[in-house]
């Protein structure tokens, strides 16, 4: 455990990770300040669960000027924010929430999963395989529960399974999983990382503390993974392989992407001693994760599918490849820097109409408007209503936004939940 008793710590950003950090810091005896750019009226849910001792600043940055011993940063706050850069230059330690959680979890048997696409499914699958093998497992990180909220649940013999993002990895100092999984790397978060090389550097930090005793699970078909793998210390388990293909064939979820996720998960749990027979049995019972090609309901012959987890063009590409039916596609949200042009061939194949939402709507229309009709809807409710009105029996209304959610929603889960709620009202 890190000794922070009596220290003054500023938490930047009061999303789930920030709230978890503030609660942990309070338990550790720190004097906790918290700042968020949102007004208090938009943070009522977060403020209700913060300890009373936490002093909150809403919509300002004055807390940065206080005498501080440490700053803990939520994943959504840019690592190169001018205030954070200035703090580091002045000698104030700045940690991502992941670092705070990691320093307060002991002992550790950890499998960490990252990549552009498939992280959440693979993380859930690794947890499922370990539980089916009789292991004591705690699953968290970017998948839903921040590590800072899990510290009391991890004991001797517990396997900790974490989904980690580039945002969480870019500033860590001591994070050191025993098994690290890098699924793939395609353009994403370029507005923050500037270039693919910068994005790859952040992802590659997963393996920074590796020794000869650790295992890196890497995608041999991805050039960025191969490049990172050449620099990794420790054992390497590459996928796909013929043997892993045989194991992955037992998964019931459709699509090549899910077989690749299964291969990565199988290699990860093999590295901690789970037998192939147990892996194959458990794969047959895995049902997938919410918000990833998830059917909400079918009504009047029209199926409504929630793929809110697709927050980039590559993930939406995978979703579109999963359907042969005519599609009414809801696209848009917070633009992440990549063009939508790569979607053209799949849109042309079986998308009847696109309904756009959020700030990316003009860019979506510019890139795809010449392929199929594009209807600007603004909000998710308007898009669902318009799609439901247009749909015919046999169609699929698919929310697969290819964008982040933060322009209109708290996160992709919130967006997916709202989609499901609206569908049940409107359809």
Domains contained in the chain, number = 3
Q: Within this chain, do residues 212 and 346 fall inside the same structural domain, yes or no?
A: no
If you search the block for the tokens 């919410």, which residue do you land on? 290
Q: How far apart are CA 283 and CA 278, in angstroms?
A: 9
Q: Within this chain, do residues 245 and 386 fall inside the same structural domain, yes or no?
A: no
Render pLDDT for 304-347 as a digit per residue (tens, 0 to 9): 999 999 999 999 999 999 999 999 999 999 999 889 999 999 99
Of the candidates 16, 159, 172, 189, the residue annotated as catalytic is 189
Helix (H, G, I), strand (E, B) or coil at 162: strand
Is position 193 annotated as part of the catalytic site?
A: no
- Report whether pLDDT(164) > 80: yes
Burial grade of 236 (CB within 10 A; 0-12, 13-18, 19 or more): middle
In-domain check, residue 341: yes
In-domain check, residue 42: yes
Is position 119 annotated as part of the catalytic site?
A: yes
Of the candidates 142, 219, 312, 411, the residue annotated as catalytic is 142
CATH of the domain at 69: 3.40.50.720
- The contacts of residue 340 (CB under 8 Å, 6+ apart) are 313, 331, 363, 364, 367, 368, 402
71: which 2 tokens? Answer: 């700053």
In-domain check, residue 37: yes
In-domain check, residue 236: yes
Q: Within this chain, do residues 56 and 109 fall inside the same structural domain, yes or no?
A: no
Domain boundary among 64, 99, 134: 99
Element (H or E) spanning 41, and its range? none
Domain boundary among 248, 283, 318: 283
Residue of higher predicted confidence among 113 and 198: 113
Render pLDDT for 279-308 as a digit per residue (tens, 0 to 9): 999 999 998 888 999 999 999 999 999 999
Domain boundary among 75, 99, 123: 99
Q: Compute CA 107 distance to the chain's CA centroid, rounded to the nearest angstrom.
A: 25
Helices (H), ranges, 28-65: 44-49
Of the candidates 16, 119, 128, 365, the residue annotated as catalytic is 119
Question: Could you tell me the residue range of the domain that residue 189 belongs to?
Answer: 105-283
Is position 104 annotated as part of the catalytic site?
A: no
What is the reported pTM?
A: 0.85
In-domain check, residue 1: no
- The contacts of residue 218 (CB under 8 Å, 6+ apart) are 182, 225, 226, 228, 229, 232, 236, 237, 238, 239
118: which 2 tokens? Answer: 């498939």
- Report whether pLDDT(192) > 80: no
Q: Within this chain, do residues 324 and 418 fall inside the same structural domain, yes or no?
A: yes
């Amino acid at each position: 455990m890190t000794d922070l008793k009596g220290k003054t710590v500023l938490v930047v950003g009061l999303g789930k990770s920030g709230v978890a950090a503030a609660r942990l810091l309070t338990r550790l005896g720190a004097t906790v300040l918290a700042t968020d750019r949102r007004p208090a009226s938009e943070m009522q849910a977060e403020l209700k669960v913060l300890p009373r001792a936490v002093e909150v600043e809403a919509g300002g940055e004055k807390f940065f000027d206080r005498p501080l011993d440490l700053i803990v940063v939520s994943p959504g706050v840019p690592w190169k924010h001018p205030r954070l850069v200035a703090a580091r230059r002045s000698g104030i330690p700045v940690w991502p929430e992941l670092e705070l959680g990691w320093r307060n979890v002991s002992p550790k048997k950890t499998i960490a999963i990252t990549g552009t696409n498939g992280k959440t499914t693979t993380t859930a699958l690794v947890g499922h395989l370990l539980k089916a093998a009789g292991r004591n497992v705690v699953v968290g990180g970017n998948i839903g529960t921040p590590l800072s909220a899990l510290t009391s649940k991890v004991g001797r013999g517990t396997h900790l399974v974490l989904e980690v993002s580039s945002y969480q990895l870019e500033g860590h100092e001591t994070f050191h999983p025993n098994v690290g999984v890098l699924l793939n790397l395609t353009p994403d978060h370029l507005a923050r990382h500037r270039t693919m090389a910068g994005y790859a550097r952040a992802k590659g930090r997963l393996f920074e503390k590796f020794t000869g005793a650790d295992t890196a699970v890497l995608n041999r078909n991805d050039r960025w993974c191969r490049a990172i793998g050449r620099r990794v210390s420790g054992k390497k388990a590459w996928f796909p392989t013929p043997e892993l293909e045989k194991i992955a064939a037992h998964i019931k979820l459709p699509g090549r992407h899910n077989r690749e996720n299964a291969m990565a998960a199988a290699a990860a749990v093999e590295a901690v001693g789970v037998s192939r027979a147990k892996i194959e049995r458990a794969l047959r019972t895995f049902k997938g994760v919410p918000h990833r090609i998830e059917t909400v309901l079918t009504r009047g012959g029209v199926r409504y599918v929630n793929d809110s987890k697709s927050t980039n063009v590559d993930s939406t590409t995978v979703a579109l490849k999963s359907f042969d039916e005519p599609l009414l596609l809801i696209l848009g949200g917070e633009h992440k820097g990549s063009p939508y042009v790569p979607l053209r061939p799949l849109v042309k194949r079986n998308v009847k109409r696109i309904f756009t939402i959020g700030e990316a709507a003009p860019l979506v229309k510019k890139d795809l408007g010449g392929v199929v009709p594009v209807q600007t809807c603004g909000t998710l409710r308007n898009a669902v209503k318009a799609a439901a009105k247009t749909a015919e029996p046999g169609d699929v209304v698919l929310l697969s936004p290819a964008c982040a959610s933060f322009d209109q929603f708290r996160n992709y889960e919130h967006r997916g939940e709202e989609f499901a709620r609206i569908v049940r009202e409107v359809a």
